[in-house]
Amino acid sequence: MSLLDTSVSVLARPHRAGLPFIVGAVLAGMVGGLIWSALLWMGLAAALFCAFFFRDPQRAVPTRAGLILAPADGRVLSIATVPPPPELALGAAPRVRVATFLSVFDVHVNRSPCAGTVMAIAYQPGTFLNAAEERAAAENERNAIALELPDGRTVAVVQIAGLIARRIVCEIEERQSLRAGQRIGLIRFGSRVDLYLPEGAAPLVAVGQRMVGGETVVADLASSEPARTAELV
């Protein structure tokens, strides 16, 4: 990524869910500044951080049918074969789960991994463990989404709150038709997003790889390529 691309991403317009935080920080700084000038600068710094955190850059979304895209920015935390969330009623057959960990420096706007119809949305209250922990997938607060592809296969996306994240925002509804890469919500201040591939699909990403939501191809349903491996060099 060039310096220009990085600058455009950092300076992207913030998502509307971040506006109350940005405006609130500015107002708090202005009021506090009447008491102590340093509070004004602290408020402005907080507003700048919120604008950075809630940035919502445009993405070049691949549109070919059969591609499953990353639903979030971040680092691939783990790839495992496990049953999908029971609340989505997708059956108990194990699927490949690609877990992506988002730090506070990643873009937190989540995107649809493919074109499809929202079959179910299921919110589950829970704890706020470190999202990098394996048990966070089952114990943390989460919002699970099941999508039906045009060919009848299904994909699941799970927004998982983390140690700092305390609010999951879901902007879609059941029976809604989504485009690949369409914005579906976000998680405030650090989180994890799990992607459950259709049964039999092989992941084309590896643990430790950086993901770009709406751009990185996680799987290709039209390809017979086996699961990829990688090493850090």
Render pLDDT for 53-78 as a digit per residue (tens, 0 to 9): 789 999 999 989 999 999 999 999 99
Q: Is residue 231 part of a domain?
A: no
Residue 16 binned pLDDT confidence (cut-offs 50, 70, 90): confident
How confident is the model at residue 198, as a pLDDT? Answer: 95
List the domain range (segments joined by +) for residue 120.
67-220
Provide CB contacts within 8 A for 209, sequence distance 6+: 75, 76, 216, 230
- The answer on 33 and 82 residing in a single domain is no
- The answer on 87 and 9 residing in a single domain is no
Residue 5 binned pLDDT confidence (cut-offs 50, 70, 90): very low
Q: How many domains does the chain have?
A: 2
Residue numbers annotated as active site: 191
- The answer on 189 and 145 residing in a single domain is yes
- The answer on 23 and 124 residing in a single domain is no
- The answer on 203 and 149 residing in a single domain is yes
How confident is the model at residue 24, as a pLDDT? Answer: 85
Mean pLDDT, rounded, of the chain: 88
